[in-house]
Structure 1
């Protein structure tokens, strides 16, 4: 399993200037290569190398490995664009967004990440030093900092390329590591259902509720402050905006890591699998009032699901994805489905049997039950087809018995 370990470099001012010049040269060369690829309609690595390799080395002074990485990076960017166009992620052919993506060559940011292989970058993990190729020559003894766990993973499992990244005046190396996976536990005694939400980030079928009020309040404060600073638009306001950028994303990522670690540890301790909802495309299926859109769009449920999946994969805990249709309206005791069962955001009261429970806990129990049923029937290793979009934004989704499952080995 591939994991990316991010470590922070501590270059001296002279070393930082050399890294900055190298990054700019590589991205300028990549933008030029992109123009050649667009004009000549050549998107294959070796074919494009014939048209650009010599010019890159002569004009920008890049080394052989750096020049090849620039060309490959450009080809990868066009391959990603083609995949997005094919998947419809950039609108329909002929639309304004589609034309904007296809009518001109790809442009690389001046400080975009640059890949380094073992010929351009060598690690002295024990001494916490790296040797990096730059336009000014080889920079030796560039210090870095990392946690003990990161150092252990780097020493044992680092394999492949590392990306040099500049962000907010800091320098990072994202190192690819091939971490062995634990053997998948194929006979879980039960499943731990996890219901993801906005008010409560995650609720488990054990009755544990991880409330999201704190992070939602922080998001509202950040959003209000950003709006005020953007309206003011003074040099001081712009400096404060730049300083606070990505603060909300970092906070959400930290909370998601903690929740995912706790959920996976509990499932591993009790010998259970994990049951999650298949929420792909939920933003396209759900219609919201304008005041709710910002909160819903900033909800990082996909990131939390990915964290749970890869942490479970590392320890061999199976993960099953189920259809979320009617999980919030179905009684976990008698199976009665009724919209009126959901009394409020927080409470569920069955109109048939009178069962009362916290709404998110009831939903997580339904998710667990569906995962158990799918596991008994033999859960498939592919994701289910997305449910059809209801006409007019409302209507019935697929029933639980018609859903598929994605199981066992989610990709990173």
Structure 2
């Protein structure tokens, strides 16, 4: 089962410097790809793939004077930023979105993608985690990331001067024990209220002799009550007529 985690990190000065450099390189490559892709289309009318651009960066551009710093950061982070640029530009190329915006340093909208390269990468402990190319980094929230989690990849980002780590992990699915009871069939009827497939029979209480006797008694009592009410009505009329005779005399 895939599960995402996000927590804040407490990096050393050296680690912060490396992260800032990595973010700077990723921002530069993202923006450079958009510019080169646009120029390439104007010149040839063709789409520039991120793979072709990445080859040009590794074999040509990074070897030029003054651009050796490009290779001082993670190659996977560099390639991911290029592929993000390709994805954004492809949507524009296919007329599914507008032209992507160039990333600016002040917006801090660049994330550093880091996959698992070695067996010890992304080893999570209670108070720290081993990030590829950054070694162990302290966690601000101890025990938040489970130690048995299998990390697939992670991203680093900076927001308001704080460093955050987002992880995608493969964790075991929780086991839920459910009580299993044997099924039973129910047949509703008139004579019997319900007959079960296991042989149990629930009789219809309205068909029992006791209920029938009570129903007959209810009828007798109801007739007796009706006769009494009629008698009272007749008695009231007789008194009324007698009173009127007395008044006449």
TM-score (norm 1): 0.34
Provide the C-alpha distance between the structure 2 equivalents of 1:175 and 1:144, rounded to a whole number of angstroms: 13
Q: Does 1:27 align with 2:35?
A: no
| Total equivalences in the alignment | 164
Please name the residue that 1:308 is paired with.
Answer: none
Please name the residue that 2:40 is paired with.
Answer: 40
Provide the C-alpha distance between the structure 2 equivalents of 1:56 and 1:68, rounded to a whole number of angstroms: 17
Residue pair 1:4, 1:175 contacting (<8 A) in 2 also: yes
Q: Describe the shift of the 1:180–1:126 C-alpha distance in structure 2 as closer, same or farther (beyond 3 A).
A: closer
Please name the residue that 2:198 is paired with.
Answer: none
Gaps of 5+ in 1: 91-97, 184-412
Residue pair 1:56, 1:67 contacting (<8 A) in 2 also: no
Q: Deviations over 1:60-84 (max 9, x none)?
A: 5344883354234333333245447
Cα RMSD (Å): 3.6
Question: How do 1:10-159 and structure 2 match up within 5 A?
Answer: 10-41=10-41, 42-55=47-60, 57-58=62-63, 59-63=67-71, 66-83=74-91, 90=97, 98=98, 101=99, 106-110=101-105, 111=108, 112-119=110-117, 122-126=121-125, 128-132=127-131, 138-146=133-141, 148=143, 150-152=144-146, 155-159=148-152
Gaps of 5+ in 2: 42-46, 176-249
Structure with max Cα Rg:
2
2:17 match: secondary structure? helix
2:103 match: secondary structure? coil
1:27 positional shift: 1.4
Provide the C-alpha distance between the structure 2 equivalents of 1:164 and 1:55, rounded to a whole number of angstroms: 28
1:24 positional shift: 1.3
Residue pair 1:3, 1:176 contacting (<8 A) in 2 also: yes
Residue pair 1:23, 1:114 contacting (<8 A) in 2 also: yes
1:115 positional shift: 0.5
TM-score (norm 2): 0.52
Residue pair 1:157, 1:178 contacting (<8 A) in 2 also: yes
1:170 positional shift: 0.5
Q: Describe the shift of the 1:32–1:124 C-alpha distance in structure 2 as closer, same or farther (beyond 3 A).
A: same
